Structure 1
Amino acid sequence: MAEQEHRYDRLANRLAMLVSRLFMGESLRVSQLAQEFGVSERTVQRDLRERLRYLDTECIDGHISLRDARGPYRTN
Protein backbone atom coordinates (compact mmCIF):
# COMPACT_ATOMS: atom_id res chain seq x y z
CA MET A 1 0.00 0.00 0.00
CA ALA A 2 2.87 2.42 0.72
CA GLU A 3 4.12 2.03 -2.87
CA GLN A 4 0.67 2.92 -4.22
CA GLU A 5 0.53 6.00 -1.98
CA HIS A 6 4.00 7.05 -3.12
CA ARG A 7 2.89 6.76 -6.76
CA TYR A 8 -0.15 8.95 -6.11
CA ASP A 9 1.99 11.47 -4.23
CA ARG A 10 4.35 11.71 -7.21
CA LEU A 11 1.40 12.15 -9.58
CA ALA A 12 -0.18 14.85 -7.40
CA ASN A 13 3.13 16.70 -7.09
CA ARG A 14 3.77 16.49 -10.84
CA LEU A 15 0.31 17.80 -11.70
CA ALA A 16 0.58 20.59 -9.13
CA MET A 17 3.93 21.65 -10.58
CA LEU A 18 2.56 21.61 -14.13
CA VAL A 19 -0.46 23.72 -13.20
CA SER A 20 1.62 26.12 -11.13
CA ARG A 21 4.19 26.65 -13.87
CA LEU A 22 1.54 27.10 -16.56
CA PHE A 23 -0.27 29.69 -14.44
CA MET A 24 3.04 31.48 -13.86
CA GLY A 25 3.11 31.92 -17.63
CA GLU A 26 5.90 29.47 -18.40
CA SER A 27 6.19 27.82 -21.78
CA LEU A 28 6.95 24.13 -21.21
CA ARG A 29 8.49 21.40 -23.38
CA VAL A 30 7.27 17.81 -22.93
CA SER A 31 10.78 16.36 -23.31
CA GLN A 32 12.21 18.64 -20.62
CA LEU A 33 9.32 17.92 -18.26
CA ALA A 34 9.69 14.17 -18.73
CA GLN A 35 13.36 14.36 -17.85
CA GLU A 36 12.74 16.67 -14.91
CA PHE A 37 10.02 14.44 -13.41
CA GLY A 38 11.69 11.14 -14.29
CA VAL A 39 8.77 9.89 -16.39
CA SER A 40 8.23 9.17 -20.07
CA GLU A 41 7.11 11.80 -22.56
CA ARG A 42 3.91 9.80 -23.01
CA THR A 43 3.18 10.22 -19.30
CA VAL A 44 3.56 14.00 -19.53
CA GLN A 45 1.41 14.07 -22.66
CA ARG A 46 -1.27 12.03 -20.84
CA ASP A 47 -1.10 14.42 -17.88
CA LEU A 48 -1.80 17.34 -20.18
CA ARG A 49 -4.31 15.61 -22.46
CA GLU A 50 -6.38 13.73 -19.87
CA ARG A 51 -5.65 14.83 -16.33
CA LEU A 52 -5.39 18.55 -17.05
CA ARG A 53 -7.80 18.68 -19.98
CA TYR A 54 -9.83 21.44 -18.34
CA LEU A 55 -6.93 23.87 -18.84
CA ASP A 56 -6.97 25.92 -22.03
CA THR A 57 -3.49 25.06 -23.31
CA GLU A 58 -1.89 25.52 -26.69
CA CYS A 59 1.17 24.02 -28.29
CA ILE A 60 3.32 26.26 -30.47
CA ASP A 61 6.65 25.03 -31.84
CA GLY A 62 6.70 22.25 -29.25
CA HIS A 63 6.11 24.60 -26.30
CA ILE A 64 2.99 24.16 -24.20
CA SER A 65 1.47 27.16 -22.47
CA LEU A 66 -1.86 28.52 -21.38
CA ARG A 67 -3.69 30.48 -24.03
CA ASP A 68 -3.27 34.20 -23.41
CA ALA A 69 -1.11 33.46 -20.36
CA ARG A 70 0.56 36.53 -18.96
CA GLY A 71 3.41 36.13 -16.55
CA PRO A 72 7.03 37.01 -15.83
CA TYR A 73 8.40 33.73 -17.20
CA ARG A 74 6.70 33.69 -20.58
CA THR A 75 9.31 32.69 -23.17
CA ASN A 76 7.26 32.91 -26.38
Structure 2
Amino acid sequence: MSDLQSVIHSMREVQQRLDNSSKTIFALAKGNEKIASLRLERDIAKETYKAGLDAMNNLRTEASLLQSILRWQNDMGS
Protein backbone atom coordinates (compact mmCIF):
# COMPACT_ATOMS: atom_id res chain seq x y z
CA MET A 1 0.00 0.00 0.00
CA SER A 2 1.37 3.41 -0.91
CA ASP A 3 1.83 6.16 1.63
CA LEU A 4 -1.16 8.06 0.28
CA GLN A 5 -3.40 5.00 0.44
CA SER A 6 -2.21 4.37 3.99
CA VAL A 7 -3.06 7.91 5.02
CA ILE A 8 -6.49 7.68 3.38
CA HIS A 9 -7.15 4.38 5.13
CA SER A 10 -6.10 5.88 8.48
CA MET A 11 -8.31 8.91 7.93
CA ARG A 12 -11.29 6.69 7.17
CA GLU A 13 -10.69 4.72 10.37
CA VAL A 14 -10.49 7.91 12.40
CA GLN A 15 -13.68 9.22 10.78
CA GLN A 16 -15.46 5.97 11.59
CA ARG A 17 -14.34 6.16 15.24
CA LEU A 18 -15.50 9.79 15.42
CA ASP A 19 -18.86 8.85 13.93
CA ASN A 20 -19.31 6.05 16.45
CA SER A 21 -18.27 8.31 19.33
CA SER A 22 -20.64 11.05 18.19
CA LYS A 23 -23.52 8.59 17.99
CA THR A 24 -22.74 7.30 21.48
CA ILE A 25 -22.51 10.80 22.98
CA PHE A 26 -25.73 11.85 21.25
CA ALA A 27 -27.54 8.75 22.51
CA LEU A 28 -26.36 9.40 26.07
CA ALA A 29 -27.24 13.09 25.98
CA LYS A 30 -30.59 12.57 24.28
CA GLY A 31 -32.09 10.80 27.24
CA ASN A 32 -30.72 13.20 29.85
CA GLU A 33 -33.43 15.61 30.97
CA LYS A 34 -30.92 18.09 32.42
CA ILE A 35 -29.08 18.34 29.09
CA ALA A 36 -32.38 18.80 27.24
CA SER A 37 -33.31 21.60 29.65
CA LEU A 38 -29.94 23.29 29.18
CA ARG A 39 -30.25 23.04 25.41
CA LEU A 40 -33.70 24.63 25.57
CA GLU A 41 -32.37 27.49 27.69
CA ARG A 42 -29.45 27.94 25.28
CA ASP A 43 -31.75 28.01 22.27
CA ILE A 44 -34.12 30.50 23.91
CA ALA A 45 -31.22 32.78 24.86
CA LYS A 46 -29.81 32.56 21.33
CA GLU A 47 -33.13 33.48 19.71
CA THR A 48 -33.74 36.27 22.25
CA TYR A 49 -30.33 37.70 21.37
CA LYS A 50 -31.10 37.52 17.65
CA ALA A 51 -34.47 39.21 18.21
CA GLY A 52 -32.74 41.97 20.17
CA LEU A 53 -30.27 42.53 17.34
CA ASP A 54 -33.11 42.69 14.84
CA ALA A 55 -34.99 45.19 17.01
CA MET A 56 -31.86 47.32 17.33
CA ASN A 57 -31.35 47.31 13.57
CA ASN A 58 -35.00 48.24 13.03
CA LEU A 59 -34.63 51.19 15.42
CA ARG A 60 -31.45 52.25 13.65
CA THR A 61 -33.27 52.20 10.31
CA GLU A 62 -36.20 54.12 11.77
CA ALA A 63 -33.86 56.76 13.23
CA SER A 64 -32.10 57.11 9.89
CA LEU A 65 -35.46 57.53 8.15
CA LEU A 66 -36.53 60.21 10.62
CA GLN A 67 -33.23 62.04 10.14
CA SER A 68 -33.74 61.96 6.38
CA ILE A 69 -37.29 63.31 6.72
CA LEU A 70 -36.10 66.07 9.04
CA ARG A 71 -33.25 66.98 6.68
CA TRP A 72 -35.68 67.07 3.72
CA GLN A 73 -38.15 69.25 5.67
CA ASN A 74 -35.36 71.64 6.67
CA ASP A 75 -34.12 71.84 3.08
CA MET A 76 -37.67 72.54 1.80
CA GLY A 77 -38.24 75.25 4.43
CA SER A 78 -35.04 77.11 3.60
Normalised-by-shorter TM-score class: 0.3 to 0.5
TM-score by length of 2: 0.34
Q: Which has the higher strand share?
A: 1
Higher RCO (C-alpha under 8 Å, 6+ residues apart): 1
TM-score by length of 1: 0.35
Q: Which has the higher helix share?
A: 2
